Structure 1
Amino acid sequence: MKYLKKENALEKRIRLDEKIIRAIENLALKKGESFSLIVNKILEEYLKNNEIFPSLNEFYAEEPNLKFDFENKIKIFENDFLTVDLSPWRGKINLIVTSPPYNVGIDYNSHDDSSSYEDYLEFSRKWLTKAYDLLADDGRMCLNIPLDKNKNGLRSVYADIVTIAKEVGFKYQSTIIWNEQNISRRTAWGSWLSASAPYVIAPVETIVLLYKHQWKRKSKGTSTIEKEQFIEWTNGVWTFNGENRKKIGHPAPFPVELPRRCIKLFSFEEDTVLDPFLGSGSTLIAALEEGRQGIGVEIDSSYVELAIKRIMENFKKQIEFQI
């Protein structure tokens, strides 16, 4: 007798009728997918049709408010990711690359980055639920989050958000450590040379690799990554500097190098890449450079304008370089 094993935090054993097992095996053989994946899909479809799953309607309630459409390749929506209507892309996004707000009191203009930790985790659960819904079955996500935070109390951000992501339905693949070589303070000077209360501060962030149903892509496409890059970037420690916030004009920009590596390593040409928290536009700059379709959502109008400006300036530089 076969059993279904769920790959999330909970594991369940389910006894199936022999006739059902044979039918599922035949379906799995035809589709070239695993037995457990077929069972999950059947159950998800049944639960969805019978409205047993919580309704996702609230996540698609607001008109898109398209602010930028570059040659039908790069689109920017000025809206809240939690409510913007992205229905045309449900189940079609190949890769999500994003760095959500960290909840450490950064002044983002239109986003409260100093809510309670409980509210922050609930916010994370909501946006992760929508991101999961938008991904294709073989879609991936590169999630840039801190290891922890110490503002208003020490919190294990990485562990908590990865746990929530798995509860939402994501499967865990791996974690890249981004050594951005940036540290603001060394220790609590009141405990200098003492075991009284020293602080351990890691000058790194994480890029969590998650996926929806299966990690291996169903169909092959054209990669843009070079051999040397593949060898270097599949090493799980990436070392490059963070971005200068004053130079960019955003309180927490990440360098184009981060999404560029994620896009080249985890997607094919013409794939659709989404950044739910676009900020200064780094993800879409990299998407355009690498021949991907790009979608960005940003709630703040000033950051939307900043992203558009950076994308167009970068595109002009590309043209000039080619000439």
Structure 2
Amino acid sequence: MEAQKFAIYNSSSEKMHELNGKSIDLAVMDPPFNIGLAYEGQVDETSHLNYLSSMNKVIKETQRVLKPIGLALILLPVKIKKQGRVHEYPEEYDRLCDNAGLILVDSFSFKVYEEDFSCVPLNELENATTPENSHTQEMVGMVFGQMHQKLTKFPTGRKYYYTQKEGHPCPFPSELVKDILDTYFVPGNRVLEQFSGTAGLGKEVLHRGGEYRGYESNPIYFEIAKEKLERAGRTK
């Protein structure tokens, strides 16, 4: 029986009951930053402790569904500023992953540019004039797994420009999707995206001969993503 090419669920990735253990080759996690961005009626803002608790659940579920040689890529700002406090997400996520049994296999740096004022250079983040809820242009890609392995290196010196599309304030730029899949994906891989958004990554996974599983709690983005994946599945 042919495997299902894609599935997307309108629910939280804190509990991924639909996925079997050890079934995912590559997980790509672009988590919310918890700095008050609005996503079609949903606002990305809670206490820092609640945020870390939620991400801890997602990471534990990711570890459960990841194959023994599978990879989990997490994309994070170097720092965020929230209510006057600065948080270093790479360090915090490293601890969450370590507690879940995932080890850091590799990492890389890149820069992002966005249309709003919440994305600022690292050397400006702690300035008094910087918006209370903001994150650095400087980003880190952290690659986790359950064992050490030699990986293809992500391209160096990359810069990506995020623009609002399909109602989403910051969907993946197509260049970033290409670089991620060129580096970590091979045809036939099953890819998980814990925060699908409008599923630009999923569309490209299908075009490249892979399988896609996604979670998106926002009903508007879910419907856009579902339709996009259905079209991509028909044209593959």
Give the structure-1-normalised TM-score.
0.61
The code of the aligned residue for 1:206 comes to V
Q: Deviation of residue 120 (structure 1)? A: 1.0
Matched, 1:165 2:97: yes
SS in 2 for 1:131: helix
Q: Deviation of residue 176 (structure 1)? A: 1.8
- Distance, in Å, in 2 between the alignment partners of 1:146 and 1:166 is 19
- State whether residues 70 and 146 of structure 2, in contact with CA within 8 Å, keep that contact through their aligned partners in structure 1: yes
Higher-strand-fraction structure: 2
- State whether residues 270 and 293 of structure 1, in contact with CA within 8 Å, keep that contact through their aligned partners in structure 2: yes
Determine the structure 1 residue equivalent to 2:34.
103
- State whether residues 176 and 208 of structure 1, in contact with CA within 8 Å, keep that contact through their aligned partners in structure 2: yes
Q: Structure 1 unaligned runs (5+)?
A: 1-70, 192-196, 218-229
Q: Deviation of residue 205 (structure 1)? A: 1.8
Q: Deviation of residue 237 (structure 1)? A: 3.2
Residue 84 and residue 209 in structure 1: after superposition, are their counterparts in 2 closer, same or farther (change >3 A)?
Answer: closer
Q: Deviation of residue 116 (structure 1)? A: 0.9
Deviations 1:48-81 (A, max 9, x none): xxxxxxxxxxxxxxxxxxxxxxx93121111121
- State whether residues 77 and 137 of structure 2, in contact with CA within 8 Å, keep that contact through their aligned partners in structure 1: no
Determine the structure 1 residue equivalent to 2:202.
284
Determine the structure 1 residue equivalent to 2:74.
143
Residue 169 and residue 237 in structure 1: after superposition, are their counterparts in 2 closer, same or farther (change >3 A)?
Answer: farther
Determine the structure 1 residue equivalent to 2:65.
134
Higher relative contact order (CA 8 A, sep 6+): 2
- State whether residues 256 and 286 of structure 1, in contact with CA within 8 Å, keep that contact through their aligned partners in structure 2: no
Determine the structure 2 residue equivalent to 1:119.
50
Matched, 1:213 2:131: no
Q: Deviation of residue 282 (structure 1)? A: 1.7
SS in 2 for 1:150: strand
Deviations 1:14-67 (A, max 9, x none): xxxxxxxxxxxxxxxxxxxxxxxxxxxxxxxxxxxxxxxxxxxxxxxxxxxxxx
SS in 2 for 1:303: helix
Q: Deviation of residue 299 (structure 1)? A: 1.2
- State whether residues 30 and 76 of structure 2, in contact with CA within 8 Å, keep that contact through their aligned partners in structure 1: yes
- Distance, in Å, in 1 between the alignment partners of 2:138 and 2:41 is 27
SS in 1 for 2:76: strand
Q: Deviation of residue 312 (structure 1)? A: 5.1
Q: Deviation of residue 315 (structure 1)? A: 6.8
Structure 1: which 4+ aligned runs deviate by more than 3 Å?
109-112, 181-188, 233-237, 309-316
Q: Deviation of residue 100 (structure 1)? A: 1.1
Match of 1:155 among 61, 83, 87: 87
Which stretch of structure 1 is more off in the superposition, 151-160 or 110-119?
Answer: 110-119
- RMSD (Å), alpha carbons: 2.8
Q: How many residues align?
A: 223
Q: Deviation of residue 204 (structure 1)? A: 2.2
Matched, 1:203 2:134: no
Deviations 1:251-303 (A, max 9, x none): 23122332332222112211100001111112201211211111111112111
The code of the aligned residue for 2:65 comes to L
Residue 314 and residue 72 in structure 1: after superposition, are their counterparts in 2 closer, same or farther (change >3 A)?
Answer: closer
Determine the structure 2 residue equivalent to 1:35.
none
Higher-helix-fraction structure: 1
- Distance, in Å, in 2 between the alignment partners of 1:96 and 1:84 is 13
The code of the aligned residue for 2:89 comes to V
Determine the structure 1 residue equivalent to 2:9.
77
Determine the structure 2 residue equivalent to 1:267.
185
SS in 2 for 1:96: strand
Listed as ranges, the matches of 1:243-262 within 5 Å are 244-245=163-164, 247-262=165-180
**Percent sequence identity over matched residues?**
19
Q: Deviation of residue 177 (structure 1)? A: 1.4
Residue 299 and residue 181 in structure 1: after superposition, are their counterparts in 2 closer, same or farther (change >3 A)?
Answer: closer
Residue 111 and residue 215 in structure 1: after superposition, are their counterparts in 2 closer, same or farther (change >3 A)?
Answer: farther
- Distance, in Å, in 2 between the alignment partners of 1:237 and 1:111 is 33
- State whether residues 181 and 204 of structure 1, in contact with CA within 8 Å, keep that contact through their aligned partners in structure 2: no
Q: Structure 2 unaligned runs (5+)?
A: none
Q: Deviation of residue 112 (structure 1)? A: 5.0
